[in-house]
Amino acid sequence: MTETMQTHPMEVDADHSSIPIVDLSEKMKTLQCEESNGTTRSCAYLKNGKLDFYEPKLLLENHMLIAQKIIFFRDFRYKIETTHDLHTHPLEIPPAYLDVIASVIQDSDESLYALTSRINDLLSPYGRDESLSHKFESAIQKAIEQVATRVKYGLSKEVYKSIKNTTDKMPWVRICL
């Protein structure tokens, strides 16, 4: 059997001296975080009364293997742009390059249009043919739809409705890819 301990507005710190919760909350708002270079910066952990922790994303395109695959894709794209008549033929991303697209779109919260545009810019060779850019955007969009599914974290309407004593006025946002 586990016991729960109830706390009062006054908490006890390690020195057994009392600290009001309000003061503790203020200290948490301006907690100093030490950087790897020895400097400190202020970390905001409480935002709108909730615990908030920001962790910067690791950009997979900076990983050596992904960067190499991006270079291979740029070479492939340059060859396609210079040797094929893409003005009349549809373009598809070969399966060999779907993994690089999957890697660089992972955990993105961008809209499909913004994501497609960003990936097109990332995978473009230097001096790309701008007249063919829309063809590659279309092919990249198809590849994204092929390798990725948008996942929305949180409660679905069905789960929310199954919980007792909830409000009927919950604003639901439809998320589209």
pLDDT digits (tens, 9 = 90+) for 124-141: 888 887 877 888 899 999
SS (H, E, C) 33-98: EECCCCCEEEECCEECCEECCCCCCCCHHHCHHHHHHHHHHHHHHHHHHHHCCCCCCCCCCCHHHH
For the chain, which ranges sit under pLDDT 70? 1-54, 86-87, 152-155, 164-177
pLDDT tens digits, 69-84: 999 999 998 888 888 7
The angle that helices 98-105 and 133-147 make with each other, rounded to 10 degrees, is 80
The domain segmentation of the chain, as residue ranges, is 10-51, 60-147
pLDDT at 62: 81
